[in-house]
Structure 1
């Protein structure tokens, strides 16, 4: 399965203001690869995940494309990284040709019956909060398998996620953070989807559980699934990702292979994120991100950027080096 997001934008309409949650997002993800979408809280990362699954509220407007298509023989080997350079807009036609689906324009019936759980599995943020509190983990797994038309037993599915059969007879409040995470993983894998979207999967977990969760996502990727990890934890992203997409104030500002990114990112904001890590300089980025209801016409990072000049009054576009900065 391969995913190409092309010009995706999301606006939330509020009384007297519009929230620019995602602006002109463009990236590609293929099977056997993991893309980590990173950035500070509130930049639009989770909105991106919900837009792909059609889970946004009624006051949201989504434009652009998010094409989902089976992988061809040329992508089956996984030897080549996806081309992350935004190309020309495909217009109304899929860049993958026939057999593809635009998640943005797909009707709810298609998303509910063909996409969610079957083609895309979602691992939600704070898994325990998304489980039904009055039903055991076993009951919720059994219901999910039944709705997806699967023949596996809850015990078999749980074993694949690292759970013991007796763990399934617990209610959500009786599960530890690690157990709740494994139940969420099992639910996301119930329909054997080729694409996994993990939305802040390490929130509230201690470091050993973070490492275990990232190792599980890497295993899923190595099995041939495409994995989109949304996180603000750069250390966790470094453990799992093949590519990195850096998001700031609703825009993706840098796309890079993971190795070169952690060796030396090119966007000043991305450098600031790495410099804020305790294992690096442990120096925070000064200032605060702009409000998404009042984004500037130029570079949104300008007030916080040590390299800012008058040129930054104009919005920088993603260039051939896959970075949106006048001074990259």
Structure 2
């Protein structure tokens, strides 16, 4: 007997960009993961590793010089194969709700938050006018903890935290099976970070899942069920969050380095710099920065048993300092 179908199933998703000189930049390489209903998967890694490109690929928001391969199924529809009409009419807002990294870019500056929520309700729920429309917009705001007293304000009148909550409210209107939050805590102080991710977590349900794309490991630890670590276009580790942040800890040396760099741990930066995505090595992309590297690392490791490494760690990671 097979279990329920995942909300999102990504298989061998790759994205590359063709440059003007004919060269290619490989932004995502062979990403594979499933996301179940009721689950939050945090996709983490340093800026520039390919996380947001992966998110854009799922929504069909890549630029014209992008080439994709693989598949990403949601409800029987392959997002990578869908045309723009299908994505616009049946995916964005309906199957996938987006909480953007820059809410100001997704909020119309000349319209109030209320009018934008009401438009989303009309488009996504079929409620057209009158008290029901107004109530549905106010309910969406309440779900995202957006204060009713600010609904008639324009985006430029909102703080960064309120703008983020307005964008979250818009993403929640359609009750999409997949909520995709792309760096939703950028620029927020720690209190607002915690409140924002707690609000996102609350909306995961029996038929809904959350893909959280972030470089904020504290936010990921707070709400994630599983963690996928991305480095230089590739997912190098996929683990249960409790094991990743607790004991035994990450198994990939890069993932260990990310945790060791946190202030409440060793506060030790990873030496060196990631490779350019336009000049990725044939073997392990982390080998040049890794103190475990040997000759075998000249061959690219496959993601096996949750880790893509020829020398995965086996010793439990030390707990963070109190």
TM-score for both structures, normalised by structure 2:
0.90
Q: Which position in structure 2 is the counterpart of 1:12?
A: 17
**Which secondary structure does the structure 2 equivalent of 1:221 belong to?**
coil
Unaligned runs of 5+ in 2: 1-5, 128-132, 313-322
Conserved? CA contact 1:317–1:324, under 8 Å: yes
Q: Which position in structure 1 is the counterpart of 2:89?
A: 113
1:57-94: CA deviation from partner (whole Å, max 9, x where unpaired): 1110111000112xxxxxxxxxxxxxxxxxxxxxxxxx
Q: Which position in structure 1 is the counterpart of 2:114?
A: 138
User: How far did residue 230 of structure 1 move?
Assistant: 0.1
Aligned residues: 297
**Which secondary structure does the structure 2 equivalent of 1:166 belong to?**
helix
Dislocated runs of 4+, deviation >3 Å: none
Between 147-156 and 17-26, the greater mean CA deviation after superposition: 147-156
Q: Which position in structure 2 is the counterpart of 1:282?
A: 267
User: How far did residue 223 of structure 1 move?
Assistant: 5.9
Query: Residues of 2 paired with 1:203 and 1:238: CA distance?
Result: 16
Q: Which position in structure 2 is the counterpart of 1:267?
A: 252
Query: Residues of 2 paired with 1:255 and 1:157: CA distance?
Result: 33
Q: Which position in structure 1 is the counterpart of 2:310?
A: 326
1:177-229: CA deviation from partner (whole Å, max 9, x where unpaired): 22111101110011111110000000000000000011111111256420000
Q: Which position in structure 1 is the counterpart of 2:34?
A: 28
**Which secondary structure does the structure 1 equivalent of 2:203 belong to?**
helix
Q: Which position in structure 1 is the counterpart of 2:186?
A: 203
Residue 217 in structure 1 maps to residue 200 in structure 2: yes
1:100-134: CA deviation from partner (whole Å, max 9, x where unpaired): 11111112111111111001100000212321222
Which of 117, 124, 140 lines up with 1:157 in the alignment?
140
Conserved? CA contact 1:299–1:313, under 8 Å: yes
Conserved? CA contact 1:126–1:204, under 8 Å: no
In angstroms, what is the RMSD of aligned CA positions? Answer: 1.2
Q: Which position in structure 1 is the counterpart of 2:297?
A: 312
User: How far did residue 44 of structure 1 move?
Assistant: 0.3
**Which secondary structure does the structure 1 equivalent of 2:229 belong to?**
strand
Unaligned runs of 5+ in 1: 70-99
* Equivalence map 1:55-66=2 (5 Å): 55-66=61-72
Conserved? CA contact 2:7–2:208, under 8 Å: no
Pick closer, same or farther for the CA change 1:159–1:150 going to 2, 3 Å.
farther
